[in-house]
A and B are shown apart, each in its own frame.
Chain A
């Protein structure tokens, strides 16, 4: 086993442990992420396996296949995060709006 494999496996196992600890209350999410982490670990140990899968879907190298799917995955993550930011911004706006209206009405009542 090469050094890079040890580093990648350690990293993946740490991520799995972190996800398990954070998502114990959301088991479905936890299982999906843990499975992804385990698949990643297996692929790191047996790199030739990724190349075989890549070849069957028309990609030359396993590393390239991982790279392409990573781009798709992170694009999806960006969209999810953007949706979350929008939601947070809307919630913040509502608070700011309610305070503005409350203070204006309060000022008129007291004047």
Chain B
């Protein structure tokens, strides 16, 4: 190439000046081979801290462990095969799925604008989101009755379209959206805020229009954080109960089914639904966690 530097200026310089820096590419740092984990339990202090962490961890998992211990395969089988028993499962999956779509479409741009300070008086907007986070779900449900119930103007408009926002699938989705949205918005905001704006600026100078910058730089870099926020929102949506019990008693999702079964036939018959809730709610957060951990590893080379 015409501008190729003299050997002394380019390749020679490269060999000399870069050799001693932070290690060769492709070699994992020593702590990743498990050496640190082994050395953690060699000292008394190490044993105490690992033991303490283990106790906290088991205590946190206590309900899950209890659930697994209390259940027999026969209980699970009869819960899954009873007539109409899978309907709440389907209702929960559908409503939480629609909720996630609503969050992605409407709340992702809001989170991005909050993260980038694109809105005037950002703090006011954030305070609003925090308010919805702080409202107990039961209160959200009560307020939703006044907001979208049959005697509200929204309810009236809905009734003109032969729709209703109480005790319908729509009501269930509304309740789940209100219970999960603040978690998603705040999580996604922090995911976007973690992307260095200098990188976006650099992508722009390299010829990308803003939307392409978003697609090629912002979104991939925020993706692990977005996935985790989405997973949390999913867990909130599928387990939503407080607002649901007020505004969407019907159709039953899994949490409603657990509550009703508990009321009607007692503790033991309600437990299998709890297991189902765990089993269907868990894969998405787990996948998001594994995926974001892998993305982080890939970035570290």
A joins B in a complex? no
Chain A residues with a Cβ under 8 A of chain B: none
